[in-house]
Structure 1
Amino acid sequence: MAPTTVTFLYPVVPVTSKPFNFEYYLATHMPWVQKSWSKFGLQKWEVMKLDPVGGYTTELIMHWESLEAFRKALEEDSVDIMADIPNFSTVSPVQIWGDVVGGN
């Protein structure tokens, strides 16, 4: 099983929507995710505040033991975590994942 990286990209919100709530995300949501999903193989995570010129405001990168570990976390413990998204974002993220095949 290869290590897996999972990325969530939050698009720029329409003018009529609330901006991404970094305070809630970093103080409440991500510690909850870490506590809930580390038992499944979440190793670490990073949050970037992006230049909105690129079309996205926020990027979450999660490092997992394997794709199977990420899938198990989604299957067994994701309903409440995903239901928390409206507390920090009014848009759904783009989700990208894959096995790590190189690096330094």
Structure 2
Amino acid sequence: MSTVVTLLYPVPAESAKPFDMEYYLGTHIPMVDKAWSNAGLKKWQVVKLDPKSGYDTQCTLVWENTEVFAKAMEDDAGKKILADIPNFSTVSAVRVWGSLVKEN
């Protein structure tokens, strides 16, 4: 059963650096795709959210299952990807995941 991981990046405080969408799409997401596309990542999507929601950006990652997601987070590529986060965001993402029940 597929595992869906959702990352929600809060709107940064006015005094904080804004979310760098250009870097995120041009550097970070290609890094994610290259590292994990052959390691169980089935697809991803990035959504620019309405700031009234309290969140700036959403990234959804669909994995083969929870085990491959957990393994990917612990491998060297996962550590490199996590270390890259300060290059586009000064706020930590809310990370939630669960099993895909149904889709069209």
Category of TM-score, reference length = shorter chain: over 0.9
> Aligned partners of 2:37, 2:10: CA distance in 1, in Å?
26
Tell me what 1:27 maps to: 26
RMSD between superposed Cα atoms in Å: 0.8
- TM superposition shift of 1:39: 2.0
Deviation digits for residues 67-103 of structure 1 (CA, Å, limit 9, x no counterpart): 1111110111311111100100010000010110112
Distance 1:92 1:75 in 2: 18
- Deviation, 1:19, is 0.8
Q: What does 1:87-102 correspond to in 2, within 5 Å? A: 87-102=87-102
Identity %: 54
* 1:1-104 correspondence runs (5 A): 2-76=1-75, 77-104=77-104
Give SS of 1:78's match. Answer: helix
2:40 maps to amino acid: G
Q: 1:33 and 1:24 mapped to 2: Cα distance? A: 13
What is the TM-score of this pair, normalised by structure 1? 0.95
Consecutive unaligned residues in structure 1, runs of 5 or more: none
Whole-angstrom distance in 1 between the partners of 2:39 and 2:66: 11
Q: Which runs of 5+ in 2 are unaligned?
A: none
Amino acid at match of 1:103: E
TM-score by length of 2: 0.95
Give the number of equivalent residue pairs.
103
How far apart are the structure 2 equivalents of 1:103 and 1:30? 24
> Where does structure 1 differ by over 6 angstroms across 4 or more consecutive aligned residues?
none
Distance 1:6 1:38 in 2: 15
